[in-house]
Amino acid sequence: MSGVQPFAPQAISLRLYPHNELAVHDILREVCAQGVAGLSAGFDGVMTSEHHGGFAGYLPNPLQVASFILEESAHGWAAPCPLLLPLRPTAQLAEEIAWLNVRHPGRVGLGVAIGALPLDFDVMDKNLADALPSFRSELPKIVALLAGRDLGLLSGDKALQQCAVTPLPVLSAARSPGAARRAAEAGAGILLDGMVSIDQARHARDAYFTAGGTASVTLIRRVWLGNLDEHLVGDQRAVYESYAAGSFGADQTISSDDPDDLARQLADAVEQAGATGLNLRLHLPGMAPADIRNQIKALGDDVLPVLRRFL
């Protein structure tokens, strides 16, 4: 059972995705069960992320799902990470997550991203072209609000007042030095995309600290203990590349039959990227829920203890 704060140095967290092939009631049951299993297996926290319109492997409500998991587990933290900040009012998001932290003190974090999937913006009657300008203006605001600063008309909100005493940590998704600098200037940490190379991650990390960043640098990596179906990896990469700008380059999945070797590879990735924390992804569309649960247990039993020693 972990008492590590969200995004704390050397935190190891699990990235959760729904099995959208299940019956609708079973989708939430399974993602929550995997979250609880991850926290029980030794992960410090869990992260959930956002897409809309039934986009494969995602749900539209990561903040709500994080709250479900927190209610079902007495330990560990949860973070919607990332939410698509341009899709929602910043003040409302700040209030909602601050009050979730009142319910679960010290167990809540937040990650935000710009977004790139046209569907996400179309269903919200938003213009994708406005996403970057909106994100630039709203990222400093959400960081300030969750630190209890610049509350303005929200100054009477007691949950946001409490943030001045115990600020809520915020990560900003970053794939480039420019995105990392933007996060540093806003006072956020950075979430390094699982598709970028270690060299790209390191360049973003270096730009972050050069710009005065002082918060968490969390590296995402897809991981598998044993033999991973490369066709599933290829299918998912094709989906991401269909709406991202350019190719992601070589696959960054880390896998091994040997738990010690897998732990060593993960520790090397953290060191080479200059990251302070690690977020692991298991799920790919087409994987059975039982396979994910088995992986969570295997990682908790055989990989995390070794990985923590390396870190």
pLDDT at 1: 43
Q: What tens-digit pLDDT sequence spans the chain (311 residues)?
A: 457 899 999 999 999 999 999 999 999 999 999 999 999 999 999 999 999 999 988 999 999 999 999 999 999 999 999 999 999 999 999 999 999 999 999 999 999 999 999 999 999 999 999 999 999 999 999 999 999 999 999 999 999 999 999 999 999 999 999 999 999 999 999 999 999 999 999 999 999 999 999 999 999 999 999 988 787 777 776 777 666 665 567 888 999 999 999 999 999 999 999 999 999 999 988 899 999 999 999 999 999 999 999 99
Contact 34, 17 (CB under 8 A): no
Report the alpha-carbon distance of residue 66 to residue 78 in Å, rounded.
6
∠ Cα 44 292 277 (to 5°): 30
pLDDT at 286: 87
pLDDT at 238: 73
What is the reported pTM?
0.94
pLDDT at 237: 66
- As given in the structure block, the two tokens for residue 94 are 């700040």
pLDDT at 228: 84
What is the rounded end-to-end Cα distance, in angstroms, of the chain? Answer: 18
Residues ≥6 apart with Cβ < 8 Å to 221: 194, 252, 253, 254, 266, 269, 278, 279, 280, 281
Domains along the sequence of the chain with CATH: 12-310 (3.20.20.30)
